[in-house]
Amino acid sequence: MNPGSLPDGPSHDAKHPKKLIFAPGDIQPTSDPKITPTETPDPSATAIGVTAAPAPISRLAAEALRSNTSTPDSVAENEIVSHPARAHQFVSNPPLTISQMHPTNPLHQFHNWFRDPRLLPSSAPETCTLATASMPSGRVSARVVYLKELDERGWVVYSNWGSREGKGGQVFGNHADGEDTLSAMPEPGQDESLQAGLQEGNKWAALTFCWSNLERQVRIEGLVEPLSRDESEMYWRTRERGSQIGAWASWQSKVLWSMEPELLLDRRRKSLDPTLCPQMRVPGDVDATDIDDGRALLEKRVKEMEERFAGVEQIPLPPFWGGVRLVPESVEFWQGRRSRLHDRFRYNQFTMSDQTPPQSPPQQPHPHPTPVQQHQQTKWLLLALSSGAFAALNGLFAKLTTDTATTTFAAHLIHIFTSTSNDATDDDLISSHPIFMLLIRGLCFGLNILSNIIMWALFTRALTAGSSTTKVSITNTAANFLVTAMLGMGVFGERVGAWWWVGAALMGVGCVIVGRRD
pLDDT tens-digit readout, 430-457: 666 777 777 877 888 888 899 889 988 8
Cα 468 to Cα 6: distance, rounded to the nearest angstrom: 51
The class that CATH gives domain 100-254+317-351 is mainly beta
What percentage of the chain reaches a pLDDT higher than 70?
55
Task: Give residue 325's pLDDT.
Answer: 93
Task: Give residue 163's pLDDT.
Answer: 67
Mean pLDDT (the chain, rounded): 70
For residue 156, the 8-state DSSP code is E
Task: Give residue 185's pLDDT.
Answer: 66
Looking at the DSSP bridge assignments, the partners of residue 323 are: 158
Which of 224, 234, 179 shows the shortest CA–CA distance to 203?
224
HEC string of 279-308 equals: CCCCCCCCCCCCCCCCHHHHHHHHHHHHHH
What percentage of the chain reaches a pLDDT higher than 90?
13
Which of 321, 366, 361, 365 shows the shortest CA–CA distance to 201?
361
Q: Angle CA(37)–CA(38)–CA(42) in degrees, nearest 5?
A: 85
Q: How far is CA 369 from CA 86, 92, 374, 379, 518, in A?
A: 58, 49, 6, 14, 9
**Among 136-145, 180-189, 355-364, 418-427, which is the least confidently predicted range?**
355-364
Cα 357 to Cα 378: distance, rounded to the nearest angstrom: 25
Cα 212 to Cα 475: distance, rounded to the nearest angstrom: 42
Which of 205, 160, 154, 210 shows the shortest CA–CA distance to 184?
160
Phi and psi, residue 358, nearest 5°: -65, 145
pLDDT in tens, 245-278: 888 888 765 666 666 666 666 666 655 555 655 5
- Grade residue 223 by pLDDT with cuts at 50, 70 and 90: very high
Average pLDDT over residues 310-323: 87
For residue 27, the 8-state DSSP code is B
pLDDT in tens, 59-89: 444 444 444 444 444 444 444 444 555 567 7
HEC string of 49-61 equals: CCCCCCCCCCHHH
Residue ranges per domain, the chain?
100-254+317-351, 373-516
